[in-house]
């Protein structure tokens, strides 16, 4: 089969890595890809928001299935566009992509269908938003309604901080957001829970816990993700049953009632409080960096999985996972998530062994004259697999230390909540 993967991040490299292992794969292209995907796929430079150009590439290359990695083209309707041209594509349509594209849409859907989530208010006016904060008190969670590359969420501990963040959003800091969503602050521990869906059913697709804050001890501003581990230590059979029954199934059923089936990866960001799951947010694609750890643990052929999903045949497929623990640590450009330098050469990547236990997934990189350069805030993902989570983390850190790149930094405490002498 011939596959095209849309995107250029660590998530897309990890997906390509897993597809590449399949004996059923004949051709693999990545649009636009990065220095890592270039080694296993044909990178084709093109704007992922130019749907017509992507269609022409897919048709020319005789692609059987397109996998859309990032959220922006999904929210903008790339699936609808390609399906109208009879292209088989894996991902949700524009309407259901509002689950991530509009936090207001997601919160209202939860309210209408009794899906457990934090109390909230949606505002377009500064005075009304400030009054909500005064009434409900702090800490309070301030969210941009639209997409914000993982940086549109702030936990505000003072009224002044909340006002500042509300003003930033309403004044257009995030172009996709004209509304602000204010949420009750929930205590507990976060986990990421993934399913894969077709029109008829869904299957569990792994769990993880990511670290969004830039600083160790989960401090500092939010980022797109500094690292993740899988499986989530907090997840057990009882909690998983509640997640499926109270959150996933009601969501999928609610969308069907609106005449839109969800097809693709669905990622539920959850807060677990006293054994009860609460939905924090939905993402309409694989997480990044969660995808990296899940692809290391996935045993079932990914080509098979996507083929079954796009044929509405998931029920017939069993998805198997490695019992080992996986961790990924993100190497970032100095200054991220603020301003950072680009086009800095990264040396010594060849010193890192690449096998089923260790992988470097590229994100913000490109290759020029056989040299690797940085181009993004999140640049590389050092990912390891081991029986014990601590061993996996130690190996990932060791691999990162072999890299010669003075312009980068990474967190050394990824997985700290789960790591002790027993794992």
- How would you classify the pairing of strands 65-68 and 2-7? parallel
| In a shared domain, residues 195 and 303 | yes
Looking at the structure, tell me whether residues 301 and 333 fall in a common domain. no
Give residue-wise pLDDT tens across range 252-311.
Answer: 999 999 999 999 999 999 999 999 999 999 999 999 999 999 999 999 999 999 999 999
In this structure, the answer to whether residues 344 and 244 fall within a common structural domain is no
**Whether 178 and 193 share a structural domain:** no
DSSP state of 298: B
For residue 206, CA distances in Å to 50, 314, 364, 390, 412 come to 32, 15, 25, 20, 24
Q: What sections of 344-415 are H helices per DSSP?
A: 389-401
* 44-61 mean pLDDT: 97
Single pTM value for the model: 0.92
Range of the domain at 215: 189-316
The yes-or-no verdict on residue 421 having pLDDT over 90 is no
User: CATH no. for residue 235?
Assistant: 3.30.470.20
Domain annotation covers residue 386: yes
Same domain? 232 vs 277: yes
In three-state secondary structure terms, 331 is strand
Residue 233 domain-assigned (yes or no): yes
- Contact yes or no for 175/169 (Cβ under 8 A): no
Please tell me the predicted confidence (pLDDT) of residue 44.
98
211 & 275 share domain: yes
Question: Residue 365 belongs to a domain with what CATH number?
Answer: 3.90.600.10
Q: What is the DSSP letter of 247?
A: I
Do 86 and 197 lie in a common domain?
no
Which residue bears the tokens 């060849």? 350
On whether residue 101 sits in a domain, the answer given is: no
Looking at the structure, tell me whether residues 216 and 251 fall in a common domain: yes
Judgement on whether residues 279 and 180 belong to the same structural domain of the protein: no
**Residue 423 pLDDT grade (very low, low, confident, very high; cuts 50, 70, 90):** low
For residue 251, what is the DSSP state? H
Task: Give the pLDDT of residue 176.
Answer: 66
Q: Are 180 and 203 members of one domain?
A: no
pLDDT of residue 135: 87
- Burial bucket for residue 200 (CB in 10 Å: 0-12, 13-18, 19+): exposed
- SS3 call for 325: strand
Sign of CA dihedral 74, 49, 167, 139: positive
Q: Is 423 a domain residue?
A: no
Strands 89-90 and 140-144: unpaired
The total number of residues shown for the chain amounts to 423
CATH (domain of 154): 3.30.1490.20
Rounded Cα distance between 372 and 341, Å, is 15
pLDDT of residue 175: 73
The answer to whether 365 and 10 are in contact (CB under 8 A) is no
Residue 33 burial (C-beta neighbours within 10 Å; 0-12, 13-18, 19+): buried
- Alpha carbon 389 to chain centroid distance? 21
Q: Is the pLDDT of residue 8 over 70?
A: yes
Number of folded domains in the chain? Answer: 4
Mean pLDDT of the chain: 94
pLDDT for 150: 65
Q: Is residue 105 part of a domain?
A: no
User: Among the three residues 260, 293, 316, which one is the final residue of a domain in this structure?
Assistant: 316
**Looking at the domain assignment, is residue 166 inside a domain?**
yes
415 within a domain of the structure (yes/no)? no
**107 CB burial (10 A radius; 0-12, 13-18, 19+):** buried
Which of 316, 348, 378 represents a domain boundary (last residue)?
Answer: 316
Say which range, 137-146, 286-295, 299-308, 401-410, has the weakest mean pLDDT: 137-146
Exposed (0-12), middle (13-18) or buried (19+): which is 206, by Cβ within 10 Å? buried
**Residue 136 and residue 37 share a domain:** no
**Are 227 and 335 contained in the same domain?**
no
Over the range 337-362, which residues count as b (16 or more CB within 10 Å of their CB) and which as e?
Answer: beebeeebebeebeebeeeebbbbbb
Identify the domain boundary among 273, 294, 316: 316
Q: Summarize pLDDT for 223-250 with one digit per residue, the tens.
A: 989 999 999 999 999 999 999 999 999 9
What CATH code is carried by the domain that includes residue 6? 3.40.50.20
Domain presence at residue 179: yes
């Amino acid at each position: 089969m011939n596959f095209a993967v849309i995107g250029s991040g660590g998530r897309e490299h990890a997906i390509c890595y897993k597809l590449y292992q399949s004996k059923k794969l004949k051709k693999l292209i990545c649009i636009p890809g990065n220095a890592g995907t270039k080694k296993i796929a044909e990178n084709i430079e093109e704007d992922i928001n130019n749907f017509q150009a992507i269609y022409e590439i897919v048709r020319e290359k005789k692609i059987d299935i397109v996998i859309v990695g990032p959220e922006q083209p999904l929210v903008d309707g790339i699936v609808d566009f390609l399906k109208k041209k009879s292209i088989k594509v894996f991902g949700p349509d524009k309407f259901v992509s509002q689950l991530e594209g509009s936090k207001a849409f997601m919160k209202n859907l939860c309210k209408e269908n009794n899906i457990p989530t934090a109390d909230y208010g949606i505002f377009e006016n500064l005075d009304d938003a400030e009054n909500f904060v005064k009434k409900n008190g702090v800490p309070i969670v301030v969210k941009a309604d639209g997409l914000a590359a993982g940086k549109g969420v702030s936990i505000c501990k003072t009224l002044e901080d909340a006002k500042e963040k509300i003003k930033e959003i309403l004044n257009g800091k995030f172009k996709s957001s004209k509304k602000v969503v204010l949420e009750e602050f929930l205590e507990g521990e976060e986990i990421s829970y993934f399913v894969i869906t077709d029109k008829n059913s869904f299957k569990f697709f792994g769990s993880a816990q990511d670290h969004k804050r830039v600083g160790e001890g989960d401090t500092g501003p939010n980022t797109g993700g500094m690292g993740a581990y899988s499986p989530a230590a907090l997840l057990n059979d009882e909690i998983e049953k509640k997640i499926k029954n109270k959150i996933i199934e009601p969501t999928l059923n609610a969308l069907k009632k609106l005449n839109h089936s969800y097809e693709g990866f669905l990622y539920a960001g959850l807060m677990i409080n006293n054994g009860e799951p609460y939905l924090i947010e939905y993402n309409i694609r694989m997480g990044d960096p969660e995808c990296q750890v899940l692809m290391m643990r996935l045993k079932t052929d990914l080509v098979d999985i996507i083929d079954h999903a796009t044929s509405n045949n998931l029920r017939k497929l069993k998805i198997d996972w490695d019992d080992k623990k996986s961790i990924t640590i993100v190497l970032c450009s100095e200054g991220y998530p603020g301003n950072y330098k680009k086009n800095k050469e990264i040396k010594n990547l060849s010193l890192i062994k690449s096998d089923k236990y260790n992988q470097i997934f590229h994100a913000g990189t490109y290759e020029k004259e056989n040299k690797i350069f940085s181009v993004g805030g999140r640049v590389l993902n050092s990912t390891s697999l081991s029986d014990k989570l601590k061993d996996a983390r130690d190996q990932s850190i060791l691999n990162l230390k072999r890299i010669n790149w003075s312009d980068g930094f990474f967190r050394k405490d990824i997985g700290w909540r789960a790591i002790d002498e027993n794992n």
